[in-house]
Amino acid sequence: MDSFFYDITIVGGGIVGAATAYKIQQKYPRLKLVLIEKEESLAAHQTGNNSGVIHSGLYYKPGSLKAKLCSDGRKQLVSFAKQYNVAHEVCGKVVAATDKSELPYLDKIFNNGLQNKIEDIEKINSDQVKDIEPYVKSIGGIWVPCTGIIDFKSATETMANLVLGIQPKSKIVLGAEAMNWNHSSETSVLVTSKQKYNTKYVIFCGGLQADRLAKKDNINLKQRVVGFRGDYYNLTEGAKEKVKNLIYPVPNPAFPFLGVHFTRMINGDVECGPNAVLTFKREGYGKTDFNLKDTVDALTYSGIWNLLKNNTKFAVNEYRRAFSKTMFLKTLQRLIPSLTAEDIVPGRSGVRAMLLKENGEMQEDFEIAYQNKSIHVLNAPSPAATACLAIGDKICDMAIAHFDL
Question: Is it the case that residue 131 has pLDDT exceeding 50?
Answer: yes
pLDDT band at 315 (very low <50, low <70, confident <90, very high): confident
pLDDT 10s digits, 56-89: 999 999 999 999 999 999 999 999 999 999 999 9
Residue 173: helix, strand or coil by DSSP? strand
State how far the Cα of 200 lies from the Cα of 342, in Å rounded to an integer. Answer: 57
- Rounded CA separation 347/375 (Å): 36
DSSP bridge partners of 354? 226
Nearest Cα to Cα of residue 296 among 190, 237, 224: 224
Q: What is the pLDDT of residue 160?
A: 98
Q: What is the CA angle 380-305-209, rounded to 5?
A: 30
Assigned CATH for 2-47+153-223+364-402: 3.50.50.60
Q: Which helix (H) or strand (E) holds 95?
A: strand 93-97
Which of 92, 103, 101 shows the shortest CA–CA distance to 131? Answer: 92
Reported as a single tens digit per residue, the pLDDT across 134-163 is 999 999 999 999 999 999 999 999 999 999
Q: How far is CA 243 from the centre of its chain?
A: 23
- Position 23 pLDDT exceeds 60: yes
What rounded mean pLDDT belongs to the chain? Answer: 94
Given a cut of 80, whether residue 45 has pLDDT beyond it is yes
Quick one: which H or E segment has residue 11? strand 5-11
DSSP-assigned states of every residue in 354-374: EEE-TTS-B--S-EEEEETTE
325 vs 152: CA distance, rounded Å: 28
DSSP 17: H
Residue type, 240: K
Does the pLDDT value for residue 2 go beyond 50? no
349-363 pLDDT, tens digit each? 999 999 999 999 999
Identify the band that residue 310 occupies on the pLDDT scale cut at 50, 70 and 90.
confident
Q: How does DSSP classify residue 189?
A: E
Listing from the earlier edge strand, what are the strands of the sheet with 88-89?
53-54, 148-150, 88-89
Residue 258 has pLDDT above 80, yes or no: no
Domain residue ranges of the chain, discontinuous segments joined by +? 2-47+153-223+364-402, 226-240+257-361
pLDDT tens digits along 157-206: 999 999 999 999 999 999 999 999 988 878 899 999 999 999 999 999 99
Instruction: Look at residues 243, 197, 223, 184 and name the one whose alpha carbon lies nearest to residue 372.
Output: 184
* Closest by CA position to 341, among listed 327, 321, 358, 323: 327
Residues 176 and 164: their CA atoms lie apart, in Å, by 18
Residue 1 pLDDT: 38
Q: Is the pLDDT at 285 greater than 90, yes or no?
A: yes
pLDDT of residue 256: 64
In angstroms, rounded to a whole number, what is the distance separating the alpha carbons of residues 335 and 330? Answer: 9
Segment 17-44 shows an average pLDDT of: 98
For position 255, what pLDDT does the model report?
A: 72
Rounded to whole angstroms, how far apart are CA atoms 274 and 154? 22
Bridge partners of 5, per DSSP, are 198
As a whole-number percent, the residues of the chain with pLDDT over 90 amount to 87
